[in-house]
C-alpha cells in the first residue's frame, strides 16, 4: 500500500455506520468509533471530517448482497448512499461484498464480555475492520501474485 494515505471502511446501517481505518502502510485495520446516524447532512459532514482528519485516500463501502450473490434493494440503497457520499468527499469509493462480515464479527465478539447494549455498535465496527482487512489482504495478494496477461496464440493458416 502506498504511504500517501489511509483506507476507510464503512459498514453502512440504517442506525449506525461501523468504521475502520488502515494504518499508513495499508497492512492492518483498526476500528474507530461507530457513527450514530442522525440525518444525511450530519452523517455526510461527519464522514467528510473523518476523511479529512485521517488522510483517507480510499473508501471501501460494504455492499450487502444476497446469499446467491445477486443485488437486492439493500444493495441499491448502499449504491445510492455511495453516489451521494461522492459529492461530499474527494476520494474513490469501492463497493465490496460484505455478506459474511456481520456473522464473522458476532463470532469474534462472542464471549468478549461486552454488554448487550454495547454489542451492536461493536459488531458494526468489527464488521468494518473485517471488511477492510479482507480488502487490504486482497490487494496484497494481487501484488504478490499478479495474474499473467492472457495472450492470444497466433492463428495458424488453414491448410
Task: List the CATH number of the domain containing 102.
Answer: 3.30.420.140
- pLDDT classification of 114: cutoffs 50, 70, 90: low
Residue 59's pLDDT is 98
Residue 137 lies in a domain: yes
5-28 average pLDDT score: 94
Residue 123's pLDDT is 79
Q: Residue 31 pLDDT more than 80? A: yes
Q: Could you report how far apart the first and last alpha carbons of the chain are, in Å?
A: 52
Q: Residue 111 pLDDT more than 90? A: no
Q: Are 83 and 95 in contact (CB under 8 A)?
A: no
**Residue found by looking up cell 447494549 in the block:** 117
User: Distance between CA atoms of 60 and 40, rounded to whole angstroms?
Assistant: 19
Residue 49 lies in a domain: yes
User: Taking the CA of residue 127 as centre, how many other CA atoms within 13 Å lie in the half-sphere pointing to its CB?
Assistant: 27
Residue 153 lies in a domain: no
Range list of β-strands (E), 54-153: 56-63, 93-97
Residue 126's pLDDT is 84
Residue 92 lies in a domain: yes
Residue 39's pLDDT is 96
Q: Residue 101 pLDDT more than 80? A: no
Q: Give the rounded percent of residues in the chain with a pLDDT score beyond 70.
A: 72
- pLDDT classification of 68: cutoffs 50, 70, 90: confident
How many domains does the chain divide into?
A: 1
54-78 average pLDDT score: 88
Total number of residues shown for the chain? 159
For residue 103, what are the domain limits? Answer: 6-144
Residue 149 lies in a domain: no
Residue 129 lies in a domain: yes
Residue 38 lies in a domain: yes
77-105 average pLDDT score: 86
pTM beyond 0.95: no
Q: In the β-sheet with 29-36, what is the strand arrangement from edge to edge?
A: 29-36, 16-22, 6-12, 56-63, 93-97
Q: Residue 115 pLDDT more than 70? A: no
Amino acid at each position: 500500500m502506498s504511504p500517501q494515505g489511509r483506507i476507510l471502511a464503512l459498514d453502512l446501517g440504517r442506525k449506525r455506520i461501523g468504521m475502520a481505518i488502515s494504518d499508513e502502510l495499508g497492512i492492518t485495520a483498526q476500528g474507530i468509533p461507530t457513527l450514530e446516524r442522525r440525518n444525511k447532512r450530519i452523517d455526510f459532514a461527519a464522514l467528510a471530517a473523518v476523511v479529512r482528519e485521517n488522510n483517507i485516500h480510499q473508501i471501501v463501502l460494504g455492499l450487502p448482497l444476497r446469499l446467491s450473490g445477486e443485488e437486492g434493494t439493500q444493495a441499491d440503497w448502499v449504491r445510492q448512499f455511495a453516489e451521494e457520499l461522492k459529492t461530499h468527499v474527494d476520494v474513490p469509493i469501492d463497493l465490496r461484498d460484505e455478506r459474511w462480515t456481520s456473522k464473522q464479527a458476532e463470532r469474534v465478539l462472542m464471549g468478549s464480555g461486552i454488554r448487550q447494549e454495547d454489542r451492536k455498535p461493536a459488531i458494526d465496527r468489527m464488521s468494518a475492520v473485517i471488511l477492510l482487512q479482507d480488502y487490504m489482504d486482497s490487494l496484497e495478494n494481487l501484488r504478490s501474485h499478479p495474474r499473467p496477461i492472457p495472450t492470444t496464440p497466433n492463428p495458424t493458416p488453414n491448410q
